Structure 1
Amino acid sequence: MSDPAPILSLVIPCYNEEGNLRHLIAAIREAVDPLNLPYEVVITDDCSKDNSWNILKDLAAKDPRIRVQRFVFNCGESAASWAGLKAARGQYLVTLDADLQNDPRDLPKFIEALKSCDCVCGTRVESRGQGDNIVRIISSRIANSVRNKLSGEKISDAGCTYRAFKRECIGNLKFFKGMHRFLPTLFKIEGHTVTEIAVSNNPRFAGKSNYGVWNRLFASFYDLLAVRWMKKRMFRFEVAEKIN
């Protein structure tokens, strides 16, 4: 008998995370298995330079719920996230990082919150000091303030990519570099409802962060302007009736 189709897909971009991957999968199993919910883990290796891909292949060989893919060349977090979302089969999609700063133990809270909205965004406002140094905290706050100011949003932690949403949220989206930072705004443009829940922010388990002040603010500035333009110019429509 074949495994049931997954209801939940955990989508994870990966770049040089060899020290985290086995611990990440163990933490996901511990959090999700008790829910008795068919799930899959889709991990996209963004052409890592370490041993990540060999570890991913080993994990996938031992558990059919783990599906992995690898880019030919490094494409960035947005591309790895989008490739995973396109490959995912679940009714509900969850994006999280591979470094274990996003705690899988928060997953039940996301699933519960999805009962009343289309997208649930994690916010680390209360827990930020638990896992990050002062430079990352300040750079994140500056970036979040600028994004909200220019995009007209009120998202308390736009830099947190720990999110859960229904599959239909990505149905009409078009991929562009940097899009992972703006998914809540893009979902709202499409008419979907978005809410936030507080999540933990653990210290990085192993390896080092690939993102700093430049990535959080300056490198995404042109993407932010594009999203601002889309928010003002895009329109939605619904067909009331069709004949032939």
Structure 2
Amino acid sequence: MDLSIVIPLLNEAESLPELCAWICRVMDENGYSYEVILVDDGSTDESWEVIKTLHRENPLIKGIKFQRNYGKSGALNEGFRAAQGDVVITMDADLQDSPDEIPGLRSMILNDGYDLVSGWKKKRYDNTLTKNLPSKLFNAATRSVSGIYLHDFNCGLKAYRQKTVKSIEVYGEMHRYIPVIAKWAGFRKIGEKVVEHRARKYGVTKFGLSRFVNGFLDLASITFVGKYGKKPMHFFGLWGTLCFLIGFISITYLIIGKIVDPEVSLSNRPAFYIGLTVMIIGSQLFLAGFLGELISRNAPGRNLYLIEEKTGLG
């Protein structure tokens, strides 16, 4: 199968018929074999009834319905698990992403060798201060931390090689960081394509300002897990040891000073208590790393490694 189109949605009953008709038209014009996977993330409108109707009319349109709202990351993860196409395309269901971009994205994966291609909505139709300014800060911070130079990490229109989506897990609110997750999994060829952004035709946006606060917390989390998930002692042990040594040296210096001059009081010197506190913090960090190592070594995925290729082996 050429393509799997994965579309997470929440309360998009009005847009689904038009979106699916548009996708099917593009697929037929290009002669692609395809499937459309609509993942209903706990909609409270008629979205699921619309999906079932669309499936009856075209069996290539498939649906997954969550019992309640789990979020976009969960919807994408289930869509990725179900996808069978050589290339997997994700897009939003609100008609702001154009299906006409699919052939170009597919070509970049199959012909140019990219593992992941992210859309860049260079010209937007939602240029509001409350949305664009936090988005620019978010993208700048993600570029700086991850070393992946994309303009729009949060664009829903993306293309993936099948192996990429089958090798990653998206959970929580990590859909914003799929390029980062893919990079940590070893998929280094990540590209970008300028795509059309269309004004919302139906309904209202499902995202608020809170997603940007959560986004920065998720960035810290995914960066830490990516670097130290299998070796937590390298982080906690390092900083714990440094803190303990700094505190120990400070306390030793003060004690030597007390021995040299017995008139000097330790209990009246703030440096003494600061040194003790730093030593305690260092010990706690070291113990956190030790416990992290115990958990990591007993985790089911402790020896799970992605193999790119083998030769001469069965």
Please confirm whether the aligned pair reaches a TM-score higher than 0.5, indicating the same fold: yes
> What does the per-residue CA deviation read over 1:141-179, in whole Å, with 9 as the maximum and x for residues that have no partner?
122122223333322111112110111112332342122
CA distance in 2, matches of 1:103, 1:241: 41
Is the contact between residue 147 and residue 224 of structure 1 (CA under 8 Å) also seen in structure 2? yes
Cα deviation for residue 131 of structure 1 reads 4.5
The letter of the residue matching 2:35 is: E
Distance 1:241 1:201, change over 3 A: closer
CA distance in 1, matches of 2:8, 2:116: 19
Residue in structure 1 matching 2:73, options 55, 78, 82: 78
Higher RCO structure (Cα 8 Å, ≥6 apart) = 1
Is the contact between residue 77 and residue 169 of structure 2 (CA under 8 Å) also seen in structure 1? no
**Partner residue, 1:27:** 22
**Partner residue, 1:105:** 100
SS at match of 2:169: coil
**Partner residue, 2:59:** 64
Distance 1:88 1:237, change over 3 A: closer
Q: Say whether residues 1:123 and 2:123 are aligned partners.
A: no
**Partner residue, 2:268:** none
Of 39-48 and 188-197, more deviation after overlay is shown by: 188-197
Larger radius of gyration: 2
Q: Which runs of 5+ in 1 are unaligned?
A: 1-5
Q: How does 1:1-244 map to 2 (within 5 A)?
A: 6-114=1-109, 115-116=111-112, 117-124=114-121, 126-128=122-124, 130-192=125-187, 193-215=189-211, 217-233=212-228
SS at match of 1:138: helix
CA distance in 2, matches of 1:9, 1:110: 13
The letter of the residue matching 1:211 is: F
Percent identity, please: 29
Q: How many equivalent residue pairs?
A: 236
Cα deviation for residue 237 of structure 1 reads 7.4
Of 154-163 and 169-178, more deviation after overlay is shown by: 169-178
What is the aligned-residue RMSD (CA, Å)? Answer: 2.1
Distance 1:240 1:204, change over 3 A: closer
| TM-score, scaled relative to structure 2 | 0.70
CA distance in 1, matches of 2:101, 2:179: 19
Instruction: Determine which structure has the larger helix proportion and give its number.
Output: 2
SS at match of 1:154: coil
SS at match of 1:75: coil
SS at match of 1:165: strand
Is the contact between residue 41 and residue 65 of structure 2 (CA under 8 Å) also seen in structure 1? yes
> What does the per-residue CA deviation read over 1:89-122, in whole Å, with 9 as the maximum and x for residues that have no partner?
1111011100011111111110111121111110
CA distance in 2, matches of 1:45, 1:243: 42
